[in-house]
Amino acid sequence: MSIKKRPVTPRQKMINLMYIVLMAMLALNISTEVLNGFSVVEESLNRTTSSASSENERIYSQFSNQMQANPEKVQAWFAKATEVKRMSDSLFNFLQELKVEIVREADGADGDPKKIKNTGNLEAAGTVMLSPITGKGKKLYSSINAYRDKILSLVTDSYQHKIIATNLSTSVPRSVGTIGKSWQEYMFENMPVAAAVTLLSKLQNDVRYAEGEVLHTLVSQIDMKDIRVNKLEAFVIPEKTVLYPGERFKANIVMAAVDTTQQPTIYVNGSRLNTPNGQYTFTAGGVGEHQFSGYIMMKNAVGDFLRRNFVQKYNVIPVPSTATVAADLMNVLYAGYNNPVSVSMPGISQNSVSLIASGASVHAKGNGHYTIIPRAVGQDVSIRVVGRDGKTSRNVGPFMFHVRKLPDPMAYLSIGINRFKGGPLSKAILMNTAGLHAAIDDGLLDIPFKVIGFETVFFDNMGNAIPMISEGSSFSSRQKEQFRKLSRNRRFYINHVRAVGPDGITRTLTGSMEVIVR
């Protein structure tokens, strides 16, 4: 016999629904003991982080002291340590800001991460971190990834490398509940305030740990750069080995490595050297190749004398009476143009040779190369070369150069990497060409000019000339329209081209460019 169900009243439906909601709330409720446990973990993390921060500051202080004592040795590592501190502080402070923001979202404007009131609030963390517009979870995700990658590039120990990579990992564990979730959703979705703050504190602790590992690595690498010697040899370190007659030779004669607690005994050509720090000087003689020899004696740790012999060669060359000045392009200079010029002086390095010019401005390019800009056409430029060799200098010159006006350029259409200067041309290419260019292009000079205007001349069926003026260096709309009307094998001419060069002179170019449409 079937059972007839009684109809459910609207009131009963509402009671049933409220019951279901209550059961769901009970299932989601987190015990006070668990939330209090997060507070205990938070306090422990903060103590650990504080200790790590103090240790890191101690290392930074050591770095600073070493930097003052030996900047040349420590500079590179100190710069890396400073960058690590900047990155670590930036991420650490960002995490602290997120903690404050989440607590204030739960407790109000006066919320304090150290005194959380609504520890079980499940919405505050999601609002701050996962909001579609203002959520900061994605920024935190990117910041951790960037920080981790930079830090790992500085850690050499494979074990610490693995620990840091794991601590700062942003990968989402694979499970049924995490499918389709981002890292920030996995971390902060439906997360109580107390738990979210503890997670952020844990990340702060990981940052300080990673920072400390990098600092220890950098400190150890400073000592790794020290050279450990186990062999002694005699060396002569001359100030220079090419000399002029009458010039003094200077050299340091040392035993590598040098012991600052004792001075070695040095003999040169049979005579003992009694100068401090092993400095040896003499006056160079005649032109040619020469040498001197001797030996060094020094006590070792057990008091025995070690002897090392040395031989040093040097050359004496005649004093140069000339210098070389060469215009890189030709034996003339062009007014208003950056003319490249090279200078040299025998026996003197390029870095010690300088150029002085009258009637022109000079700009050094380094290693004996200059650009010279003459002031006026027809006014010769006088050039002198000065060579400095230690405390002495030599002045050679003058060298005279004639100054000319730049030659006229040639007009052309730019077709890809080619320069079209007349002849058959595809109509499609012509329609896609913006305008006219000009340059000196003779195989020696390649100097661009600015086109400021030109004229095109077309011919109608009656043979009447139809001139049209451009818009600066560009074809005008009338000229473009005329191009469209041109049939195959029709031709037109470009003439009266006006152009300005780097010398500031405006010229009207002679001749015409014939274009035959294909």
Tens digits of per-residue pLDDT, 186-199?
888 888 888 888 88
Residue 308, beta-bridge partner list: 296
Whether 60 shows a pLDDT value over 90: the answer reads no
Task: Return the pLDDT at 274.
Answer: 81
Average pLDDT, the chain: 80
Q: Answer for the pair 269, 293: CB distance below 8 angstroms, yes or no.
A: yes
Tokens representing 102? 């989440």
Q: Per-residue confidence at 317, pLDDT binned at 50, 70, 90? A: low
For the purposes of burial, counting CB atoms within 10 Å of the CB of 454, is it exposed (0-12), middle (13-18) or buried (19 or more)? buried
Whether 2 shows a pLDDT value over 50: the answer reads no
Q: Answer for the pair 188, 129: CB distance below 8 angstroms, yes or no.
A: yes
Distance CA 443, CA 260 (A): 63
Q: Per-residue confidence at 460, pLDDT binned at 50, 70, 90? A: confident
Whether 370 shows a pLDDT value over 80: the answer reads yes
Type of residue found at 417: I
Least confident of 81-90, 168-177, 333-342, 372-381: 168-177
3-state class percentages of the chain: helix first, strand second, coil last, to nearest 5 = 35, 30, 30
Distance CA 150, CA 363 (A): 42
| Average of per-residue pLDDT across 433-443 | 86
* 403-434 residue pLDDT tens: 888 888 999 998 888 889 889 999 888 888 98
Sequence length of the chain is: 518
DSSP output for 302-354: TS-EEEEEEEEEEEE-PPP---EEEESS-SEEETTS-EEEEEEBTTB-GGGEE
Distance CA 504, CA 174 (A): 71
Task: Return the pLDDT at 300.
Answer: 62
Question: How many other C-beta atoms lie within 10 A of the C-beta of residue 375?
Answer: 13
Tokens representing 113? 């991460």
At what angle are helices 32-69 and 193-224 packed, to 10 degrees? 20
Distance CA 516, CA 122 (A): 79
- Range among 29-33, 385-389, 404-408 with highest mean pLDDT value: 404-408
Whether 315 shows a pLDDT value over 80: the answer reads no
For the purposes of burial, counting CB atoms within 10 Å of the CB of 503, is it exposed (0-12), middle (13-18) or buried (19 or more)? middle
Task: Return the pLDDT at 33.
Answer: 54
